[in-house]
Amino acid sequence: MTGTAALSISEVALENEQLRLALQAAQVGTWDYNMETGQAEWSVICKRLFGLPEDASVTPAVLLEQVHPDDRERVAHANARVLSPQSDGDHNVIFRTLREGSAPRWVQAKGKTILNDEGRILRFNGVVIDVTELKQAQEALQQSAEVLEQRVAERTQELKEANLQLKKSNENLAEFAYIASHDLQEPLRKIQSFGDILRDQYESQLGEGIMYLERMQSAARRMSTLIKDLLTFSRLSTRQENTTTVSLTDILSHVLHDLELAIQETGAEVTVESLPSVKGDASQLAQLFQNLVSNAIKFGHPGTKPVIEIRTERITATDLPLTIRPVRAVAAYQRIDVSDNGIGFDEKYIERIFQVFQRLHGTSKYAGTGIGLAICEKVVVNHGGSITARSQPGKGTTFSVYLPL
């Protein structure tokens, strides 16, 4: 029996020694305060964390004096709270301690009260941990967050100012568009009117000069068309002006009615599948399909009846071609294909055809200003979609419009 008791005591002593070494290695201080006797035990590391010598006589008042003045009231309140009868017995507070000759250290004190059967506090013990590096890291992170927040605020302000400048620029552009549509058209109308008078009244006297008059009239007409196209392009806002549910079938019906004369003159055959309704701006979508269909009629083979097919298909985002990057990413899209049997073009020019003033054919053979497809792309982008084309020289073209659903 004696041997067994001696072995048990040895095991306890060994465990205590292992615990002491572990606490020492981790630089964790401990305290134990006997509320009945008033005696307190503070480990060497605990004293060191409070800036006290190892042989210092320690009381709660002495330790409180070692707390940084800015934290002292908060620590005293935490101590009083945990020792009050209403306390849950848990103690956890972070504060700074004073150390002579060096900067204050941040420590965390965590403790627990032990009660007797009557609920009176017998002991109050716990540990003290140096958390200076953790606090410094937190402060550095906070400073970085504040710097980042400041930069975000500055950038936001810059964007607001840029938006204001852009708004002003757009207003100036709208004003210019009005001037272009009115003031620039007026002299062109006079040139055309006086040219008509010259031709009608003095054609016999002009002789070969009639050729120059016709060229002048043709140039004036092209300039008038160019101004009108520029006006249309500039008036397209960066979004839909009147977003409603639009029937594409109705849109195409109106477009074909407007192009009736060109269809009759060329004998064009236009086939339109039943098209869905989409959210968008009806006037802009009408401009889009009018440009695409009129292009298909205009760029037909000479002497060959234009054949135009308009088809549609609902596709998912995963079915989009790799080259398609819609403005607005959604789960599904409506693809509308406008195909023709016209002269086509080399696909190496695919990016060029959607740029303003870019033409693949001379004005002497195919009329136009080089703005029509740029308008198409702008309309599609305004609706959050994308447009592309597939073509081969002499084998027709298919324009594919992707509108988000």
The pLDDT confidence band at residue 74, using thresholds 50, 70 and 90, is very high
Length of the chain: 405
CB 96 within 8 A of CB 108: no
pLDDT in tens, 213-233: 888 888 887 777 777 777 777
pLDDT in tens, 152-166: 999 999 898 888 888
Based on the fold, state whether residues 259 and 394 are members of the same structural domain: yes
pLDDT in tens, 308-351: 999 999 988 888 877 777 767 788 889 999 999 988 888 777 77
* Within-domain flag for 297: yes
Instruction: Identify the domain boundary among 103, 130, 157.
Output: 130
367 Cβ contact list (under 8 Å, min separation 6)? 222, 225, 298
Looking at every residue in the chain, the average pLDDT score rounds to 81
- The residue segments making up the domain with residue 308 are 239-404
User: How many whole angstroms separate alpha carbon 333 and alpha carbon 313?
Assistant: 8
The letter for the amino acid at 204 is: S
- Total tally of structural domains belonging to the chain: 2
CATH number at residue 390: 3.30.565.10
* Within-domain flag for 4: no
* Within-domain flag for 247: yes
- Percentages helix, strand, coil for the chain, rounded to the nearest 5? 50, 25, 25
User: How many whole angstroms separate alpha carbon 46 and alpha carbon 49?
Assistant: 5
The pLDDT confidence band at residue 12, using thresholds 50, 70 and 90, is very low
CB 37 within 8 A of CB 31: no
Based on the fold, state whether residues 119 and 247 are members of the same structural domain: no
Query: What pLDDT, on a 0 to 100 scale, did the predictor assign at position 165?
Result: 85
The letter for the amino acid at 166 is: L
pLDDT in tens, 106-149: 999 999 988 887 878 888 888 999 888 888 898 889 999 989 99
Q: What is the 3-state secondary structure (H, E, C) of 280-335?
A: EEHHHHHHHHHHHHHHHHHCCCCCCCCEEEEEEEEEEHHHCCCCCCCCCCCCEEEE
The pLDDT confidence band at residue 14, using thresholds 50, 70 and 90, is very low
CATH number at residue 33: 3.30.450.20
Query: Which residue, chain included where needed, has tokens 């840029």?
Result: 162
pLDDT in tens, 241-297: 567 888 999 999 999 998 898 899 889 999 998 898 888 888 889 889 988 998 888
Strand partners, 42: 31
Query: What pLDDT, on a 0 to 100 scale, did the predictor assign at position 360?
Result: 52
pLDDT in tens, 20-59: 555 555 578 888 888 888 888 888 888 888 888 888 888 8
* Within-domain flag for 149: no
% of residues, the chain, pLDDT over 90: 16
Based on the fold, state whether residues 257 and 384 are members of the same structural domain: yes
Query: What pLDDT, on a 0 to 100 scale, did the predictor assign at position 234?
Result: 66
The more confidently predicted of residues 182 and 55 is 55
Based on the fold, state whether residues 125 and 252 are members of the same structural domain: no
DSSP string, 82-145: HTSTT--SEEEEEEEEEETTEEEEEEEEEEEEEE-TTS-EEEEEEEEEE-HHHHHHHHHHHHHH
% of residues, the chain, pLDDT over 70: 84
- The model carries a pTM of 0.50
Q: Classify strands 102-115 and 90-99 as parallel, antiparallel or unpaired.
A: antiparallel
Based on the fold, state whether residues 273 and 395 are members of the same structural domain: yes
pLDDT in tens, 350-360: 777 777 555 55
Based on the fold, state whether residues 119 and 243 are members of the same structural domain: no
For the chain, the straight-line distance linking the first and the last C-alpha, in angstroms and rounded, comes to: 86
97 Cβ contact list (under 8 Å, min separation 6)? 49, 50, 51, 66, 67, 68, 104, 105, 107
